[in-house]
Structure 1
Amino acid sequence: MEEIRIERHGGIAHIILNRPSVRNAVTLAMWREMAEIFSCFAGDRDVRGVVLRGAGKDFSVGADISEFEKIRDDRHQSAAYEVAVDACSGAIAALGKPVVAAISGYCLGGGCHLALACDFRFGDRTATIGIPSARLSIVYGVHSVQRLLALTGVSNAKRILYSADRFLAEQAMSMGLIDELHEDAGLAAEKFLQRLAANAPLSIAGAKYMLNGLSMGPGALDLAAAQGLIDAASDSEDFKEGRRAFAEKRSPQFRGE
């Protein structure tokens, strides 16, 4: 059984963590594979949005702790492991296309790490979110802490990290960990992304780059790169198409170029 499945529904790709027997615990190999998958999507114009979800009843209980004795036994192995984890979340955040985490059941630790890197988090009523690092004597990575802080504010971020508690769907939503609640989070995420797919890809990519950079704290945004995205959109065929469609009172047909 593949540990990560990819399904495509039109222009929307579904990345599915596929270890339901262990509640989709993420191995080191999976962190690395997901980084590659999301990086490859950057050049795939047929993909206009991505849903990240888990197989079965859970999103993910987080990193597969059963392999830690072999691959995360000391500071050196831990540092190498965090490089792989950050590369994965970085690839999700860097993808210039909207990504929605569809959360059912447990979304804990590394699973929360994945969800935080997405643009949006849709949950259902079974969603339970938490970061139990304080029960394992693990200090959560800097990039994930910054994303958590940007979403929840400092008081809630401290509550989440200090307590290692699990928060049910309604409370997680009130804290900023979930954006929307739906009966079927995966279906709602796909419909939402299909609506976004009608908009200009270059506009979304530029907005995502700037908002992610600004949210990560002073100095994180490369202003020259941001200006490059602005300039590229201004010179694009999509910009011309947008103006033509506006003048002709029709829906634009954007191609991301």
Structure 2
Amino acid sequence: MSEDIHIERRDGIVHVILNRPAVKNAVTLAMWREMAEIFAGFAGDRAVRGIVLRGAGKDFSVGADISEFEVIRDDRHQSAAYEVAVDACSGAIAVLGKPVVAAISGYCLGGGCHLALACDFRFGDRTATFGIPAARLSIVYGLHSVQRLLALTGVSNAKRILYSADRYPAEQALSMGLLDELHEDAGLAAEGFLQRLAANAPLSIAGAKSMLNGLSMGAGALDPPAAQRLIDEAADSEDFQEGRRAFAEKRSPRFRGA
């Protein structure tokens, strides 16, 4: 693992930390690729019950590291390859069958917003500032990110955000749907929220996440046979039997994700 991404584990909750505070956690191409591998790796780890994605220092992320664009994103072919890496990263977050919360302070711009949109929830503090400056760089924001933005904010707000390239403070981002909750300490709130979710059945959360994400991404995004497999696997699971036993015995269930 590179020094640009730091991992902390706390009682089943993992913190994935963008670790370039000197440049406001700008994301390099190598980091997009590394994060895709990191999140894909969490899928088979039953000890991981939730993930907090945050930035080191005062900012979540100012987005892609534009300083390297002249070398790695100079024409349509390089741009297409770059978007493949970006979409692989956000896709790994979105398809992971575990809850992911973005804990946002300071700037959450462009590619940083792309990362936050892929998470299940976005918790911010009052310093959080959102924006997508693609229109000031003659970049068309990626299709999957536009779909996620649309699902969260509605078409009018999505157009305003993308057309204007403006920045939106935390309170306005909350009203537009970019933020879910405001807290004094977004990281602490995100971890506490995930600890509460960790008491619930992992298979239930994974199934709900898969179906809700598919439905929110538009026609054809949901795979009904895959959704049915998740329903069937939960019905055949030891966790389902444990849930029934715990209910009958009037105790808290002990779910294992199997």
Q: TM-score range by the shorter chain?
A: over 0.9
Aligned pairs, number? 257
Structure 2 distance, partners of 1:98, 1:61, is 23
Question: 1:186 Cα shift?
Answer: 0.2
Displacement after TM superposition at 1:238 (Å): 0.2
Residue 221 (structure 2) aligns with: 220
- Aligned pairs for 1:153-232 (under 5 A) are 153-232=154-233
SS at match of 1:7: strand
CA distance, structure 2, for counterparts of residue 206 and residue 130 of structure 1: 31
Distance across 1 between alignment mates of 2:252 and 2:11: 19
SS in 2 for 1:8: strand
TM-score (norm 2): 0.99
SS in 2 for 1:231: helix
In the TM superposition, what are the counterparts of 1:54-203 in structure 2 within 5 Å? Answer: 54-203=55-204
- Give per-residue Cα distances to partners, 1:160-213, cap 9 Å, x unaligned: 000000000000000000000000000000000000000000000000000000
Alpha-carbon distance in 2 for matches of 1:164, 1:171: 15
Following superposition, the deviation at residue 10 of structure 1 comes to 0.7
Match in the other structure for 2:250:
249
Identity of aligned residues (%): 87
Per-residue Cα deviation, 1:127-161 (whole angstroms, up to 9, x for no partner): 00000000000000000000000000000000000
Query: Secondary structure of the equivalent of 1:137?
Result: coil
Q: Which amino acid aligns with 1:150?
A: A
| Superposed displacement of residue 225, structure 1 | 0.4
TM-score for both structures, normalised by structure 1: 1.00
Q: Deviations over 1:207-256 (max 9, x none)?
A: 00000000000000010000000000000000000000000110000000
Measure the CA separation in 1 of the matches of 2:6 and 2:240: 35
Letter of the 2:191 counterpart: E
User: Who is 1:35 aligned against?
Assistant: 36
C-alpha separation in 2, matches of 1:4 and 1:190: 18
- Secondary structure at the aligned position of 1:225 is classed as helix
Secondary structure, counterpart of 1:241 in structure 2: helix
Give the distance between the partners of 1:69 and 1:223, measured in 2 at CA.
42
Q: Letter of the aligned partner of 2:111 in structure 1? A: G
How far apart, CA to CA, are the structure 1 residues paired with 2:12 and 2:161? 35
Moved over 4 A (4+): none
Q: Does structure 1 residue 237 correspond to structure 2 residue 246?
A: no
RMSD of the TM alignment (CA)?
0.5
* TM-superposition CA deviations, 1:17-37 (whole Å, max 9, x none): 000000000000000000000
Q: Distance in 2 between matches of 1:219 and 1:76?
A: 27
